[in-house]
Amino acid sequence: MNLGIKSRIIASYVGLLIVFIAVTVLLAEDFISAYTAMAIAAVSTVIMFYLMLIRLIKPLEEITHTAYEMAGGILEREIMVQADDEIDELATSINFMARQLRRNMVMIGEERNRAKAVLDSMADGVIALDSESRVIMLNPALEKKFKIDRGSSIGKKLIEVIRNYELDQLLRQVLKSKEPQCREIKVLMPNPAVLKVHVTPLKAGDSNSSGVVALLRDITERRQLEKMRADFVANVSHELRTPLTSINGFLETLLDGAMDDKETARRFLGIVKKETDRLSKLVDDLLKLSKLENNKTILEKQPVNMAKIIGQVTEMFTAQAEAKDIEITTKVPENVPPVMGEKDLLIQVLVNLVDNAIKYTPEKGKVTITAEAEQQAVKVSVRDTGTGIPQESLPRVFERFYRVDKARSREVGGTGLGLAIVKHVIELHDGEIEVESSPGGTVFTFKLPLGQGCCAC
């Protein structure tokens, strides 16, 4: 029967009392001497103390010690008490509490790891600030974007970590107003970029400890693409308007009476014809370019014999070259292996390069086309003895509508799209193209990889 702690203590005292009474009686009847009485009393007291120590004090000490350890975070130990009273119940409930705490800690740890994994794998930058505008958290994407170190940034003011006044002001505003905000900001350091920043107040239970969290998305590329698209539309409109205005002007003059003079009429109609040819070439080039830029373009590759297509293109330009007394020479060794590519597109590349070489070379000049086998590639060069391209223009000649001398290009029927088409085709074939130029001439060189299975053909 479990009588509890109180009954044990009472029983001990009653036991001691009985012993003392018995000793007193035995002493009064002279059955024992005073020394024996004292010895019996002392031994019974020690026994009682020992029993109290074992059954009460020791277990309580053990429980207190373990409870202290739990408070310090050590939850693995369990209290080992064997008793069948309240002390045992106390030990069991503390052990149960420790197990429960252990489970909760594991759950909190897992939750924290999951949140960390999400933040670490995000492509957008995330930064959190406390109410004093001090950094409390930032993710690796933000570290990389601003080239900062997470460890040394925590606890610092935002402006000390990211030196951007606009960003600092935006986060401070949200800290003050406690209203979410979204804004586009430009940063110059470490690299110029446009960021879309979403800032949300952090609402903690205790209003003093609230802060803000900001999500920074890099939209530089999107903005550049939008600008390129807008520039392209503006360029196309301009390119279309110029010949149309000219056609319109000449037709109006013809209608106003110039038609009566046969010679003038013929000359004007000749100009109108030239302008319409240019318009249709422009539309043609635009269509080609848009087809090439369409990401879905899948090349119908086949083994292409470069020697053969160089021969074909040279023939196509014989008349044009003769008209300017330009000599076209080809140097293509027999052993040039075929490349894997789309034949019509590769012909287009050579046509555009040879066309430029002839157009921008004065009379009696020379155009040389060479091809040679390189390691896993074929290198083709188109060299001329023409006007050359100024050094500052070299990086831009592959841009759409870029022309060194606009008037000259227009005069010879250029659209400004030839080299853009060339570059696209070469890139679609995983090749490379480069240009070198001096006042004595220009050389365009492209390399095309041989591709798998090409050499068997």
Ligand X SMILES: Nc1ncnc2c1ncn2[C@@H]1O[C@H](COP(=O)(O)OP(=O)(O)O)[C@@H](O)[C@H]1O
Q: Which of 125, 418, 431, 441 binds Mg ion (CB under 5 A)?
A: 418
Q: Which of 153, 345, 442, 446 binds ligand X (CB under 6 A)?
A: 442
Q: Is 403 in the site for ligand X (CB under 6 A)?
A: yes
In angstroms and rounded to an integer, the radius of gyration of the C-alpha atoms of the chain is 46
DSSP codes of every residue in 99-117: HHHHHHHHHHHHHHHHHHH
Stretch that binds ligand X, among 95-103, 200-208, 308-316, 379-387 (CB under 6 A): 379-387
Reply yes or no: is the peptide bond before residue 190 cis, omega within 30 of 0: yes
Residues 96-125 as x/- pattern, contact with ligand X by CB under 6 A: ------------------------------
**Restricting to residues 333-352, which ones interact with ligand X according to CB under 6 A?**
352
User: Binding of ligand X at residue 436 (CB under 6 A)?
Assistant: no
Q: How far is the CB of 311 from ligand X (least distance, A)?
A: 21
Assess 387 for contact with ligand X (CB under 6 A): yes
Q: Give the three-class secondary structure for 265.
A: helix
The residue to which tokens 């100009």 are assigned: 271
Quick one: what does residue 387 bind among Mg ion, ligand X, none, with the CB cut-off 5 to 8 Å set by partner type? ligand X
Q: Which is nearer to Mg ion, 87 or 417 (CB)?
A: 417
Q: Which does 357 bind (CB under 5 to 8 A by kind): Mg ion, ligand X, none?
A: ligand X
Minimum CB separation of residue 136 from Mg ion in Å reads: 58
DSSP string, 346-398: HHHHHHHHHHHHHHTS-TT-EEEEEEEEETTEEEEEEEE-SS---GGGGGGTT
- Compute the CA torsion angle 22, 28, 29, 34 (nearest 10 deg): 80
- How wide is the angle at C-alpha 388 spanned by C-alphas 384 and 392, nearest 5°? 140
Q: Which does 282 bind (CB under 5 to 8 A by kind): ligand X, Mg ion, none?
A: none
In 3D space, the residue among 377, 386, 396 whose CA is nearest the CA of residue 450 turns out to be 377
> 328 or 357: whose CB is closer to ligand X?
357
DSSP letters spanning 153-178: HTTSBHHHHS--HHHHHHHHHHHHH-
- The closest alpha carbon to 292, from 409, 146, 421, belongs to 421
Identified binder of ligand X from the candidate list 341, 414, 431, 451, rule CB under 6 A: 414
Does 153 help bind ligand X (rule: CB under 6 A)?
A: no
What is the C-alpha to C-alpha distance for residues 407 and 451, in angstroms, rounded to an integer?
41
Stretch that binds ligand X, among 42-50, 288-296, 329-337, 355-363 (CB under 6 A): 355-363
Contact region for ligand X (CB under 6 A) — 52-60, 220-228, 267-275, 400-408? 400-408
Q: Are 131 and 175 in contact (CB under 8 A)?
A: yes
409 binds, among Mg ion, ligand X, none (CB under 5 to 8 A by kind): ligand X
Residues 206-245 touching ligand X, rule: CB under 6 A, are: none
Phi first, then psi: give them for residue 453, nearest 5 degrees.
Answer: 80, 0
Pair type for strands 211-218 and 125-129:
antiparallel
Subset of 332-361 contacting Mg ion (CB under 5 A): 356
Q: Is 385 in the site for ligand X (CB under 6 A)?
A: no
List the single partner that 354 binds among ligand X, Mg ion, none, CB under 5 to 8 Å by kind: none
Contacts with Mg ion by CB under 5 A lie at 356, 414, 418
